[in-house]
């Protein structure tokens, strides 16, 4: 079932296989349980009435898919997930964009048909595979970019074996997907008042309980520009004095001096004793002294130490590149 799904792009819950004698192959069994020899021909069957719907998905025709959606809401939601899975596998950008506008989530597993929920315990493990994983397995870079733009939680999805997107792309040998995923994972997310590494940002919405309102979860699920408060023009000193005078005239002497009775001001100090003046040290002198102490301790000048640190950083980046591309 997994091999057939990867070859044709259909999710495993949208078709079934039958033996040459017409015997249905159940997901909980294996081929040798049905005495199927090497080279045998198996039959692939889909759900009744789905022929035109699946044909539209394979061709990427959005209108055909929309025309053949079921009237039953649970079945229609399942069909939309199947359509997004096929679009992700075959690279149909227009169909995938329309399905995202309909609210289909890229990290939501396709699941099983609503009529078969009674036997979900014996279902194939790949029913938990989501469209984002399908796009990475097939090396659909354009679809992957669309999914990440719609939700950065795509970078944190997992396949049924627990592999993250970067590991999946590495094992399938899709270098362009690996490069794009590595770039996104090493980026920084800028939020109001803070900047978080992408890894920390992904863990925050995931670990946030579903019943708690989390602004990071909302930001991760939709790519909308942040609405910052409007800045008001700063009044000049003359305008402030004029405004203060108008407020005093309107409120009267009693209201304008009311705050003075609540917060008493300290008395004016009569102390006339002179105090020593502490002069601030020269910053250039402090910097020169620190650099001399550093050079004496490390046997390197500040310029040599900067070159040394840059060389270490370059070696570290080369090591990470070699680890991701060759060791995993």
pLDDT tens, position by position, 98-128: 999 999 999 999 999 888 766 666 788 899 9
pLDDT digits (tens, 9 = 90+) for 2-12: 999 999 999 99
Kindly state whether residues 203 and 167 are assigned to the same domain. Answer: no
Q: Domain with 63 in it: what CATH number?
A: 1.25.40.20
d(CA 46, CA 48): 6
Q: DSSP string spanning 295-307? A: HHHHSS-HHHHHH
The answer on 208 and 171 residing in a single domain is no
pLDDT grade, residue 256 (50/70/90)? Answer: very low
Judge whether 159 lies within some domain: yes
> Are 145 and 213 found together in one domain?
no
Q: State in Å, rounded, how far the first CA of the chain is from the last one.
A: 26
Q: Could you say which DSSP state residue 326 is in?
A: I
**Segments in 122-174 forming alpha helices (H):** 131-137, 141-150, 165-172
Indicate if 76 and 196 belong to the same structural domain.
no
d(CA 83, CA 71): 16
Do 58 and 109 reside in the same domain of the chain? yes
In this model, does residue 229 exceed pLDDT 50? no
CA 178, CA 322: separation in Å to the nearest integer? Answer: 13
Mean pLDDT of 301-325: 73
Q: Tokens at residue 292, please?
A: 């001399």
Residue 203 lies in a domain: yes
Q: Domain span at residue 78?
A: 49-186
* Predicted local confidence at residue 173, as pLDDT: 94
pTM of the model: 0.65
Task: Provide the strand spans (E) within 133-264.
Answer: 188-191, 194-197
How many domains is the chain partitioned into structurally?
A: 2
For all residues of the chain together, what is the average pLDDT? 79
């Amino acid at each position: 079932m997994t091999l057939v799904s990867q070859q044709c792009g259909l999710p495993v819950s949208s078709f079934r296989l039958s033996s040459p004698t017409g015997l249905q192959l159940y997901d909980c069994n294996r081929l040798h349980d049905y005495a199927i020899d090497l080279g045998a021909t198996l039959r692939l069957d889909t759900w009744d009435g789905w022929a035109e719907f699946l044909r539209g998905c394979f061709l990427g025709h959005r209108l055909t898919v929309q025309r053949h959606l079921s009237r039953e809401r649970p079945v229609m939601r399942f069909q939309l997930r199947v359509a997004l899975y096929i679009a992700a596998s075959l690279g149909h950008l227009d169909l995938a964009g329309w399905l995202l506008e309909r609210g289909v989530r890229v990290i939501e597993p396709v699941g099983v048909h609503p009529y078969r929920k009674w036997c979900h315990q014996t279902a194939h493990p790949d029913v938990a595979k989501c469209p984002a994983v399908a796009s990475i397995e097939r090396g659909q870079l354009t679809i992957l970019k669309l999914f990440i733009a719609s939700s950065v939680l795509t970078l944190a999805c997992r396949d049924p074996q627990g592999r993250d997107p970067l590991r999946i792309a590495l094992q399938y040998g899709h270098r362009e997907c690996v490069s794009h995923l590595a770039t996104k994972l090493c980026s920084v997310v800028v939020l109001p008042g803070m900047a978080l590494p992408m890894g920390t940002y992904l863990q925050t919405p995931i670990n946030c309980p579903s019943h708690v309102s989390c602004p990071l979860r909302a930001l991760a699920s939709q790519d909308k520009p942040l609405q910052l408060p409007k800045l008001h023009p700063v009044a000049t000193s003359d305008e402030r004095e004029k405004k203060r005078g108008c407020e005093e005239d309107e409120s009267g002497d009693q209201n304008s001096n009311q705050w003075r009775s609540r917060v008493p001001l300290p008395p004016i100090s009569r102390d006339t004793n002179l105090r020593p003046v502490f002069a601030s040290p020269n910053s250039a002198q402090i910097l020169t002294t620190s650099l001399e102490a550093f050079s004496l301790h490390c046997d390197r000048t500040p310029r040599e130490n900067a070159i040394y640190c840059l060389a270490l950083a370059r070696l570290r980046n080369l090591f990470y590149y070699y680890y991701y591309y060759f060791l995993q």
